[in-house]
Structure 1
Amino acid sequence: MDEHVIIKQYLTFNVGGDDYAINVGNIREVLEFQSVSRVPRMPDYMRGIINLRGSVVPVIDLKTKFDLGQTEKSIDTSVIVTELKIGDDDVVLGLLTDAVNEVVDIDETDIEPTPNIGTTIDSSFIKGMGKKDDKFIIILNINRIFSNSEVRELTTESISEGES
């Protein structure tokens, strides 16, 4: 085996019938989806907040964020608790998904660049397309799914709501 090959671990999950993955280094834990406390006047993709061992964690519906509808609660619905780096700050967000699949090893050489489809769609949050068992997995760059202003709005509003 070539010693220069870099294999990384990714948590795979399903949103709207497609497989996605996030580097396990960005994941704190995976929770079964129970319920969230709604926060008024938040963006559509923010489902609410959860109390995670005394900390307020905003929960984002990835299906809504990706313009694919809204995640319906089922036995497989999960929240992936992630940590983002925004400037010098570490921000904790929950990502609501249809189902969490498994942790897989993906060789960096098996990650294709994001295809250029000639449109103005912002795909900067997609690191690339991973291949695993003849299936494509959309590998997300978790730090680019949300703009800095979106994260600040989510975390500031959530925390102030949680304190009242």
Structure 2
Amino acid sequence: MTETQDKPMNAAGASEMQALTFELSGEVFALEAGIVQEILDLLPETRVPGAPGFVDAVINFRGQVIPLADLRVAFGMDQAETSIDSRIIVVELDLEGEPALVGLRTDRVCEVATLGLGASEPAPSVGMRWPSEYVRRLVKREGDFVVLPDLQAIFAPQKDAPAASQLRH
């Protein structure tokens, strides 16, 4: 896993991170702003037979074919209908030492925000509705939690579903 690109400690003693927040099934998630390449309206998708459930399609991004992932599937959430607010966030990830562009389906993109990582906790191993290994941190914000997904863990090759190797273009 690559290290978080956190800012150094500020005067209040808490580190901060610039993040793009988005929603999936009513939950707020955040990605480090530095990995976000672009936010797109929904595009035509081409289904890929035999692909893992959460990376089941590809899209054309500026003339390049990139995988389209649905984090709802990785987190065991129910599928949702697309809406006028649905977007695709294109991120660049380091997968097995190589940069790879990946599109992530979202219900809604919220904002770019500064998250105080001093108000964060690791994911508890018990009582989570999602696989805790896919959650890097939970950040307390305005009386709620923002989920920082661990994209490296989600897209890591697995014995039964080699997702990262299928993301190569």
- 8 Å contact 2:39–2:89 — kept in the other structure? yes
Who is 1:45 aligned against? 54
Instruction: Give the secondary structure class of the aligned counterpart of 1:58.
Output: strand
Verify: 1:151 aligned to 2:164, yes or no: yes
Who is 1:125 aligned against? 134
- Partner Cα distance (1:106, 1:138) in 2: 11
Root mean square deviation of aligned Cα = 2.0
Who is 2:81 aligned against? 72
- 8 Å contact 1:129–1:136 — kept in the other structure? yes
Cα deviation for residue 3 of structure 1 reads: 6.8
Q: 1:48 to 1:91 in 2, by over 3 A?
A: same
Unaligned runs of 5+ in 1: 160-164
| Residue among 101, 107, 112 paired with 2:110 | 101
Greater Cα offset, 61-70 or 126-135: 61-70
Instruction: Give the secondary structure class of the aligned counterpart of 1:109.
Output: helix
- TM-score, with length taken from structure 1: 0.85
- Partner Cα distance (1:3, 1:135) in 2: 21
Verify: 1:28 aligned to 2:37, yes or no: yes
- TM-score, with length taken from structure 2: 0.82
Who is 1:162 aligned against? none
Moved over 6 A (4+): none
Q: Residue deviations 1:81-101, cap 9 Å, x none?
A: 011112220111101011111
Q: 1:62 to 1:122 in 2, by over 3 A?
A: closer
- 8 Å contact 1:14–1:99 — kept in the other structure? yes
Tell me the number of residue pairs that the alignment of Structure 1 and Structure 2 aligns: 155
- Partner Cα distance (2:43, 2:82) in 1: 8
- 8 Å contact 1:13–1:21 — kept in the other structure? yes
- Partner Cα distance (2:28, 2:127) in 1: 23
- 8 Å contact 1:61–1:70 — kept in the other structure? no
Unaligned runs of 5+ in 2: 1-9
- Partner Cα distance (2:113, 2:120) in 1: 13
* Greater share of helix: 1
Who is 2:24 aligned against? 15
Percent of matched pairs sharing the same residue: 30
